[in-house]
Structure formats: structure tokens, C-alpha cells
Chains A and B, each alone.
Chain A
């Protein structure tokens, strides 16, 4: 089955630790995205990548980092600099860039204790 996988589904970390969230897609899409979803705030764009080895900051990139070494993978690292990291993180991909339909993964709920 084609789709986007995110792992793990739930993640717990101690304050001050960096944590990396995985996102893999087998849809052969060029573009990939990371969003943060908080109650009442919708989805806010963290980072996006239109092509391998290139990525841009979204609206709330501070305290996060990404890499795009392979077309199918777009991991997100939540660093200790992120002031409020507890949230639900969604990864998405699209075939034709930001103007096109996005396909979402199941999400990772990160809780920082």
C-alpha cells in the first residue's frame, strides 16, 4: 500500500533532550512537509521540502531542524531550544509542490515531561 508512515505514534521525552520524529513516504512525491497541530490553532507549518537536499522554514521553525537526504524520508528533530514541544506532529507529502493536494501521515504525539 502506498502512503506515509510516521513513527512512533506516541513519544515521551525528558525536557532538555533532542528527539527525532520519523516520516517516510512511498508515494514518490517530491514535496514533503511538517506541521504542528495544537487544539484551537489548526495546522502550522514547521518546515517543508520541495526536493531532495533542499528545505525551507515554515511559520514556526524555531527550535526545529530537518534533513532531506532521500526522496522518501523527511525526519524532524525537535531540539531542546523549542520552548513548548509537547504537541501533535503531522507529516505530509504532495506530488506537485505546495499548490497541490497534500497526503498526511497518522501523526506522532510528542509529550515532553
Chain B
């Protein structure tokens, strides 16, 4: 079965620090990749996605992610976090073989002012 791993369960950063959240998946075929974010008290929403083309994708609020096929990874980055980035972040992978999306276990990010 396909699996998605997010190794960082809880990350605490000071404002202006750089962020990188890891996401690895197990499927070797064609994938669609997503990062979703859940701000406190808000709906889960799309942060960014990769379907094809440039493996470096940019999303909302200055976030970006890089698809590295050889490493089965889709890590999320932001050069300088803000207090408002405090949220839970979920990586998700769609594979044609299984024809469904699998979510990672999530990473809670806490940004300290």
C-alpha cells in the first residue's frame, strides 16, 4: 500500500527562522502531490500542489515545495516564517495505481513571536 511519511510531528520556530518540512512517499509511479494547511479554527485548505512540469512549485503566503523524484520527496519550505504560519501542515499524495489520495500524519508548526 502507498504510504506518506512526515517525519516532523511538532516543530517550534522563532519568527524569521527558515522552515523545511519533510514529506516522503512510497509509490514509484506517476504522482500528484499536495500540501494542505489547517490554521487554528479554520478549514483545511490547499497550500500548493504539483502535477507536472517545474518541480519547484510556489504556493500561497510565500511557501514553496520541491519535488525530487529520485528521493520520493516533496518537502515544504519557507525562508522566513511568521507567527501567522502557526498551523498544522499535511502532505498528500495521489497515485494513479491506487487512484486515491493518501495523507501524511501532519506536522504541527508553532511560531513564537
Query: Which residue numbers of A lie inside 8 Å of B, CB to CB?
Result: 35, 40-45, 48, 58, 90, 92, 98-107
Contacts and interface: CB of A to CB of B under 8 A. Distances in A.
A35 B43 CA distance: 13
B99 A98 contact: yes
- State which size class the interface on B falls in: 20 to 34
Contact of A40 (B9, B100, B102): B9
Contacts of A99: 32, 94, 96, 99
A35 to B, nearest CB: 8
Chain B residues touching A, majority SS = strand
B100 A42 contact: no
The 10 closest A-B pairs by CB, nearest first: A42-B105, A43-B103, A104-B44, A42-B103, A99-B94, A98-B100, A104-B43, A42-B106, A99-B32, A101-B46
B61 to A, nearest CB: 17
B43 A105 contact: yes
B34 to A, nearest CB: 7
Contacts of B99: 98-99
A104 B105 contact: no
A74 to B, nearest CB: 16
Contacts of A92: 44
B45 interface: yes
Nearest to B41: A106
A44 B104 CA distance: 9
Contacts of A35: 103
B101 interface: yes
